[in-house]
């Protein structure tokens, strides 16, 4: 009875013993679980990544704000409603005037955007690299890894960003021109509406290609055109899933996109500043790693599959002894007790002669070991697969 009470007390105090299998089963076993686990356990690192990204992406927000100011200023000087001074307003031909203002303003914005790409690409290269390491569940030092990612990936990131910006600008010009043509000639509205829809579809496709390119760039060593080609293939081949995950990456910005009051907009700005961009890149990077596992990693020599997740039922190094016969496993080794060569030890105060004697003794040991290997190379005393199998099965009679 006393023994039973001791066991019960021990169980209440210490709890149930948690085996290694139990600990492994608590690890993320799929990409969804991994993403949620990273958000819960690495929120501080995600915030740091977000702040570093914000440092380099902030000029884009300033440029958009400048655009709205320029459009408002230009509109205030435009003759939308003039007065003769005697109470009768003049209504000149104003069809397409607002569209002309937008086109004029956007041309300046587009030029500034190409200049800013050189600066913004620094943050993109570093941010995607750190997030890749985080998804791989490697040890992450945010700041040092960020600059390491910039050094490794800036060139391709800049080229990809310039190419994306070019396609984006051409599509936006097409949309602005279509809006102007619809305003001055409503009879052709159907045709130009179709042009607008196609332009928006191109923007979505180019954005997906760009995002895939950034993930490919920090994951594999590929040339620029190989990156673009593979990214385009992934975009088209997995279009429905891509649409879902691109929409999912926009969820962290929902307060900013749909805010109708200043309070909600303020919360949206704070969310973007602290975590939204980091969460969005985490979602996309985690998704891309799943795509690469399914499509690439089995075909690329040396590529590791399912990084960061634990596959239940998969063989583990700790569960199953994996061996292979190599020159190190089969190489005869001379027992340390058979050495008759004097091992020279350096005194506390040593001279050049002492160093020479030490080097000579090391050479003699190496020569003696090599000679032993040649003499016993064909001896049947090496560890072989049969011995290992017996040992693993518990048969130690030999």
Domain coordinates in residue numbering, the chain: 27-295, 332-381
Q: Are 303 and 355 within 8 A, CB to CB?
A: no
pLDDT at site 374: 74
pLDDT score recorded for residue 48: 92
- CA distances to 56, 240, 243, 252, 394 from 247, rounded to whole Å, are 23, 11, 6, 10, 56
Any long-range contacts for 269-277 (C-beta under 8 Å, 24+ apart)?
A: 272/54, 273/50, 273/51, 273/54, 274/47, 274/50, 274/51, 275/43, 275/46, 275/47, 275/50, 276/50, 276/252, 277/50, 277/53, 277/54, 277/57, 277/127, 277/252
Tell me what pLDDT residue 71 has: 85
Q: How far apart are CA 186 and CA 188, in angstroms?
A: 5
d(CA 123, CA 50): 10
> For position 338, what pLDDT does the model report?
57
pLDDT value for 12? 46
Predicted confidence at residue 1, as pLDDT, reads: 53
User: According to the model, what pLDDT value does residue 378 have?
Assistant: 66
- Residue 177's contacts (CB-CB under 8 Å, 6 or more residues apart) are 103
pTM of the complete model = 0.69
pLDDT of residue 15: 45
What per-residue confidence (pLDDT) applies to 29? Answer: 78
pLDDT at 298: 81
Give pLDDT, residue 397: 43
Residue 392: per-residue pLDDT: 43
pLDDT score, position 324: 40
End-to-end CA, the chain: 45
Average confidence (pLDDT) per 10 residues, the chain, 398 residues: 51 45 60 88 90 92 90 73 46 67 90 95 95 88 92 95 96 93 85 93 95 94 93 93 90 69 68 83 93 86 78 48 42 60 67 74 77 69 46 44
């Amino acid at each position: 009875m006393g023994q039973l009470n001791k066991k019960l007390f021990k169980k209440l105090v210490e709890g149930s013993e948690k085996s290694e299998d139990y600990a492994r089963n608590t690890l993320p076993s799929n990409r969804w679980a991994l993403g949620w686990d990273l958000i819960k356990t690495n929120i501080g690192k995600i915030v740091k990544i977000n702040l570093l990204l914000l440092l380099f992406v902030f000029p884009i927000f300033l440029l958009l704000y400048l655009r709205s100011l320029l459009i408002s200023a230009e509109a205030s000087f435009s003759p939308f409603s003039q007065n003769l001074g005697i109470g009768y307003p003049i209504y000149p031909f104003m069809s397409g005037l607002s569209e002309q203002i937008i086109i004029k303003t956007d041309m300046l914005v587009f030029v500034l955007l190409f200049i800013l790409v050189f600066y913004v690409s620094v943050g993109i290269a570093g941010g995607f690299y750190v997030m890749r390491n985080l998804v791989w569940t490697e040890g992450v030092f945010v700041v040092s890894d960020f600059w390491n990612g910039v050094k490794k990936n800036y060139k391709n990131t800049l080229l990809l960003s310039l190419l994306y910006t070019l396609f984006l600008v051409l599509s936006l010009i097409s949309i602005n021109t279509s809006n102007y043509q619809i305003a001055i000639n409503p009879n052709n509205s159907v045709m130009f509406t179709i042009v607008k829809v196609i332009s928006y579809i191109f923007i979505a496709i180019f954005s997906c290609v760009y995002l895939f390119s950034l993930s490919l760039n920090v994951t594999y060593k590929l040339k620029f055109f190989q990156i673009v080609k593979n990214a385009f293939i992934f975009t088209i081949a997995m279009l429905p899933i891509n649409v879902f995950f691109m929409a999912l990456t926009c969820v962290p910005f929902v307060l900013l996109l749909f805010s109708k009051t200043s309070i909600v907009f303020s919360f949206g700005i704070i969310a973007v500043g602290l975590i939204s961009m980091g969460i969005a890149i985490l979602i996309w990077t985690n998704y891309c790693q799943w795509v690469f596992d399914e499509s690439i990693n089995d075909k690329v020599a040396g590529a590791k599959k399912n990084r960061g997740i634990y596959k239940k039922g998969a063989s583990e190094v700790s569960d199953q002894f994996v061996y292979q016969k190599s020159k190190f496993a089969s190489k005869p080794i001379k027992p340390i007790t058979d050495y008759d060569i004097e091992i020279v030890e350096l005194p506390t105060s040593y001279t050049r002669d002492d160093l020479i004697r030490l080097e000579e003794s090391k050479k003699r040991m190496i020569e003696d070991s090599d000679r032993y290997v040649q003499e016993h190379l064909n001896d049947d005393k090496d560890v072989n697969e049969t011995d290992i199998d017996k040992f693993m099965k518990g048969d130690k009679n030999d």
